[in-house]
Amino acid sequence: MAEVTFDHPCNQTMLWSKTDELVHQYTAKDEDKKDCFTLEDTLLGYILNDQRWCGKEGSKETFTAGCPGLDDCANGAVRSFWDRASAAFAEYACRAVTVMLNGSEEKPFYPNSTFARVEIKRLKYPKVTKLDVILVTGNNNVSNCATDNLKIDLQNALGSKIGYSCTEVSESRVTECSSSSSSTNVGCGACLLKSSE
């Protein structure tokens, strides 16, 4: 972690939970149009994304086959790596931080997610002043910005000193903004946070 530092603008940090495909579609813009960066957009995250590795008792070898999945082993090497990388990424974030959550989940602020277990605990005032929640809505919506899971659970975990906003954004708007040529100096998710015309 110390050798491969983050170098994106710290106020363009995009966290996410249960929106993997959509958030990476949004952040896959050309570098000159990029306004948000996920952990997987950084060198460290890019290189190790979707990789699996493990050790076996009695062996000094590192294996890449026959390893448990990320969610199968709470204390496994892969989960430990991503938890530590996610913690460092959240600690790097500054000013207004954005998180993309899934409105089709009963609990968009899912308690066992990396965002809830690791990242939100690393967002500290005064370095971080606001959390902008982008709640992605679609045909199977069961949550909105007024749900207790966001209004109470997430805001309690965040703490009272950090500002909070929540914007419901349709999947189609995320797709539309993914091809947008918005300026990189307007802040993370600016296209998503303004109303579509």
Choose, from 36, 94, 166, 177, the residue flagged as catalytic. Answer: 94
Contact 37, 14 (CB under 8 A): yes
Q: Which two tokens stand for residue 54?
A: 């493990």
Q: Where does the pLDDT of residue 162 fall: very low under 50, low under 70, confident under 90, or very high at 90 and above?
A: very high
Judge whether residue 4 has pLDDT over 60.
yes
Task: Look at the block and give the residue holding tokens 């419901």.
Answer: 168
Q: Which two tokens stand for residue 38?
A: 């996920």
- Is 145 assigned a catalytic role? no
Determine the average pLDDT of the residues in 92-114: 96
Choose, from 10, 54, 73, 145, the residue flagged as catalytic. Answer: 10
How far is it, in rounded angstroms, from Cα 173 to Cα 34?
17
Q: What pLDDT, on a 0 to 100 scale, did the predictor assign at position 74?
A: 66
Cα 82 to the chain's mean position, in Å?
12
Contact 40, 19 (CB under 8 A): no
Determine the average pLDDT of the residues in 161-168: 97
Q: Where does the pLDDT of residue 72 fall: very low under 50, low under 70, confident under 90, or very high at 90 and above?
A: low
Mean pLDDT across the chain: 87
Determine the average pLDDT of the residues in 119-131: 97
